[in-house]
Structure 1
Amino acid sequence: MAGSRMKLELSRVVQGRSRLGVLRGLGRTGQHSLEVPGCLLYTHFGTVPHLTQDTLHTLSNLPSVTQVTLSNIAEHQEVLEEFKDGFRKFAGLHDTVLYCSLHDPATFCPTGYTTNKTVSVWGSGGRIELTVAKFMALQKTVQPDWYQSMADGETWQNNTSRKRVRKSVDRTLTHLDECLLVHQKSQELEGVEVFGVVEGGDILEERLRSAKETAKRPVAGFCLDGLQTGTMDQALRTQLITAVTKELPEDKPRLLQGVGRPDEVLACVEAGVDLFESFFPFQVTERGCALCFSFDVSPDPERAGRAPPAVLELDEERDTAGETQQNGGLNLDDQTQMTSFEINLKDKRYQDDFRPLVDGCGCYCCKNHQRAYLHHLLVTNELLAGVLLMIHNTAHYHSFFDALREALANDKLDLLKRRVLREKEMTRKP
């Protein structure tokens, strides 16, 4: 395996841990790059849910890396093998970097199916068991630009024993070594990068062991697994990530799996995370909700021609989210529950609300439609509701990452946190 082309160039590190920079040398020819902190484009089988390629490309600030998951692809292996030209061509994805992960971050993954030799993924037809040989055969068929190594990530339940966590770290390292062995002998995977997976559940010593050992291998970057939303509280997650990132090389990216909520993203960036999966806008869309939180830290909205939508102060919406939170007794840590960063457009109050979803948002939905129309589409179960919500939620979320990078560049991270977290405070009012 030749030296990795993928290189993380940091322009600054804020408060010792938050990293701002550019991930360069992406793709087989190395012509792509991705700003960090950043996120990947979340897809189902290469397509952003609800959106056609044409609709998707009306959005301006999309990341250059598209995420596909083996849980979607494994059941179509024969078709892809027959096609022979790789998944990018098969799915009509042009000019994007392809990253292949094991599981879909927006879907719950049943546990108890991992063995010493196999991991399981779950497609629409049920469980598919993967050995290293089958996993690597899939990678050769997909021909991604980078992929995460096979890993035993089944240690995120709080009551997992220390022995089970240790076993997961051992298995994951063994899988990585076996994957690298096949990778190095494979012509089809020449120029493809591998990310090692850091496991360790909620046990600090195992996390550190996993990080140190993975860092010794010829990997291009790291996936931090088992820290998903709903599996542990943010304070513990931050503590573990902070300790782990100290053991990882500075010039390689760290991708956090299964965390997407804006408040959690901010905390994890402060702990040293570079990349996230952007499944959160999809989850919000599936709930019939619209992202509606403020992240504007720029006094001059016209700066340099690349202003993210000026999200105006949304005090009333914050109250709305707060009320929903209290009335429904929702658990903020559950991935399926509405969060305080969104508004529920199925709510009757929106049937006569003729404002855009977010004032000043430049997305197609906000420019052309009102909340009342989206409310109508949702209550009549029109497919267009999902399309319009996904356009807005994707645009809003990626603009949040623009604002995050800008805040890091201009020493405004604390201001951004105050903007974003005001929603959280609203939910805590007695």
Structure 2
Amino acid sequence: MSTTFTFDLHPSGAGAGASAAAALRHGTVSIASPSDAQQGKKRVIETPGCFMFSTKGSVPHLTPDTMRLQDFGGINVSLEQLLHPDQPASFSKWPLTSPFNSGSKFTLAEYLHLQDLILMCDLRDYSSFSAFASPSDVAAGAGAAPSKLVGPNTDRYALLSTPKGVRQLTVDDYLQIVRQYRPDIMVAMADSIVEKPKNPEHKGPAEKRVRKSVERSLKWLDQILLEREGQDGRMEDRRMEEEKKRRRERKEKKRAAAAMMAEQQQQQAQQEGGAEQQQQASSKDTMSEVAESDDTPIAIVPRETEPWKEVAVFAHVLGSHIEAERITSAQETARREGVDGFMIDTSALTEMVDMDQILKLVQTSVEHLPSQKPRMVYGVQTPEDVLKAIALGVDLFDTSYPYHLTEDGKASLYCFGEDPSPESISAADKSSSRNNRWINLWDDEHGDQFVPILEGCECYACHSGGHTRAYINHLLKTHEMLATVLLMSHNMHQFNLFFKHVRESIKEGTFEKHSKTFHDMFGNEPKRTAEKHLAQLVVEAALTKRNQRLEGAEEAVVDAIGTGEKLVKKRPEVEGVEADKTEKKAKKEGDATQEQ
């Protein structure tokens, strides 16, 4: 296991029920960095808790200073969004040593200026694979290239959907990335099923495909764990490649020998039998030489590899919708002692089953995982689903939910463990949203509400003063970036507060009681669709029209390279104006000449 990664479990409250007490967990994830003395210690993640969702290494809509006002201790970075065009084939532009800490390697955390956070890296962005994600998110991959469009993985590589197109990533590529980036936690390369099923009538992948996914992921995991310890994890692959090469060479030799025999038989068809017997003996000798050449033992020399023991490894627990494969994946992954934590993968489930069935499959996986290691899940985002997953023993989630709310112009009102403020409920009742969970600040009725988003909220948007609902409504309708900065700050703060109160309820033994109160008060999240607010559509249409006009103006100016001249191509809508100006100028010059 990693010498720097620690997961400490704390006792739960005595008031919890017997069944709940067995599953409810409260703990701390921490990373002890060798450079703590120079740079200050990293934050910790209290569980149940979250890694911040990011796009291309930054939290969406938050500036660096507003991001650090949040109390989250970690951030999850997707490699398919972050890899440079020359990576992983070449890291020639990547510094060998850190300019901030002499004598150490330059890390991804330093590159992204996230040294104070626990940095986790995974191959894909799984935020769009969620029952809460809208069709537009699934199509757009939450701002990245569409992960849904990649083809199936193979034994040699996994496919990534990057902004530059679909790319192949081999295990060697993965290992090179880890050795260069050195994140705090690396999620092991896995054969996650993100391609469309071959048979359109099937909602999910076939059982054979799921079994292959589990086997392939375990094989890659074994190789990665060996490489982390400085051993050659790719020896078996190179031996198999050498065997394939020999088989190809043997086939070529046999084909050549058979062709030579046929040619000799044709040439000697008229000769005596003795000559034919001599020819057959010669051909047999050639074939025996081909067979003997394959008997030489294959000797693979182990390669010297660079260990990276300071990086923790989380492993995917797969199995799709097939319970038996989920059990196999969980049991086999749990047997690998070098694994530091588990990533319960639900990416292939969102289009075939509902959330209740997804949570049952999550429970199946959790029941076969060791209790002393953390469990994180993708695809469970809304507060009520998070509460159900926590009751099953899940420790870690991501902040995709506040991101999706911000994208829709919504501000959180929900809370856990306490009664919501009467002001927020009253305001929600007046809103066209008609729910107590959030308000949509695109709604016209917020245009004259000069009050904070939520009374008593300590977030940057509500507490710093001057940021009222009316102001944010104005910012949204004028398409100002500050609107989403304020909304994301508020939604992230409320999500963090939600988890804080959940942890307190686990300590006090009141989790089940408050979970029931939460469900009674806020109900279930309305299904998110691709439809946008009418006011948002109007603003986007106006922006599109403006951008087209600006693009037309830029295209009208053509530089005559090499002549030092600039040719101006007039747009149709301004030709009449320019003609009038030219005519007036000529008339003025003529009048001046006559006066002289």
Please say if 1:17 is aligned against 2:62: no
CA distance in 1 between partners of 2:228 and 2:93 (Å): 18
CA distance in 2 between partners of 1:100 and 1:86 (Å): 12
Shift of 1:251: 0.6
CA distance in 1 between partners of 2:360 and 2:524 (Å): 22
Segments of 5+ residues of structure 1 without an aligned counterpart are 299-309, 326-338
Shift of 1:343: 2.1
Q: Which moved more, 1:151-160 or 1:369-378?
A: 151-160
Shift of 1:409: 1.2
Please say if 1:87 is aligned against 2:108: yes
Q: Which structure 2 residues correspond to residues 3-82 of structure 1 after superposition, within 5 A?
A: 5-12=5-12, 14=16, 15=20, 16-25=22-31, 27=33, 32=42, 33-59=44-70, 62-75=71-84, 77=87, 82=94
Give yes or no for contact 2:406–2:484 (8 Å, CA) kept in 1: yes
Corresponding residue SS for 1:147: strand
Quote the RMSD (CA, aligned, Å). Answer: 2.8
Shift of 1:189: 1.7
TM (norm. structure 1) is: 0.85
Corresponding residue SS for 2:55: coil
* Letter of the structure 2 residue corresponding to residue 149 of structure 1: A
Q: Which structure 2 residues correspond to residues 10-409 of structure 1 after superposition, within 5 A?
A: 10-12=10-12, 14=16, 15=20, 16-25=22-31, 27=33, 32=42, 33-59=44-70, 62-75=71-84, 77=87, 82-84=94-96, 85-107=106-128, 108=141, 109-110=147-148, 111-154=150-193, 158-185=203-230, 186-187=305-306, 189-217=308-336, 218-226=338-346, 230-231=350-351, 232-297=353-418, 314-316=424-426, 319=429, 324=433, 341-367=437-463, 368=465, 369-409=467-507
Corresponding residue SS for 1:194: strand
User: Which structure would you say has the larger Rg?
Assistant: 2
TM (norm. structure 2) is: 0.62
Residue 244 to residue 229, structure 1, CA distance change in 2 (3 Å)? closer
Residue 257 to residue 320, structure 1, CA distance change in 2 (3 Å)? farther
2:516 to 392, 411, 418: 418
Residue 167 to residue 228, structure 1, CA distance change in 2 (3 Å)? closer
Corresponding residue SS for 2:509: coil
CA distance in 1 between partners of 2:75 and 2:219 (Å): 27
Shift of 1:156: 9.1
CA distance in 2 between partners of 1:397 and 1:426 (Å): 14
Shift of 1:324: 4.2
Give yes or no for contact 2:63–2:485 (8 Å, CA) kept in 1: no
Aligned length: 401
Corresponding residue SS for 1:39: strand
Corresponding residue SS for 2:127: coil
1:169-199 deviation line (CA, Å, top 9, x unaligned): 1111112112222222254623111111100
Q: Which moved more, 1:394-403 or 1:94-103?
A: 94-103
Residue 100 to residue 416, structure 1, CA distance change in 2 (3 Å)? same
CA distance in 2 between partners of 1:188 and 1:3 (Å): 13
1:250-278 deviation line (CA, Å, top 9, x unaligned): 11000111322111111110111000111
Give yes or no for contact 1:154–1:226 (8 Å, CA) kept in 2: no
CA distance in 2 between partners of 1:371 and 1:425 (Å): 24
Q: Could you tell me which residue of structure 2 aligns to residue 307 of structure 1?
A: none
Corresponding residue SS for 1:130: strand
Shift of 1:315: 3.2
Shift of 1:88: 1.1
Residue 317 to residue 410, structure 1, CA distance change in 2 (3 Å)? farther
Shift of 1:316: 4.1
1:185-238 deviation line (CA, Å, top 9, x unaligned): 254623111111100001111001000000111200100012578443222122
Residue 364 to residue 4, structure 1, CA distance change in 2 (3 Å)? closer
Corresponding residue SS for 1:207: helix
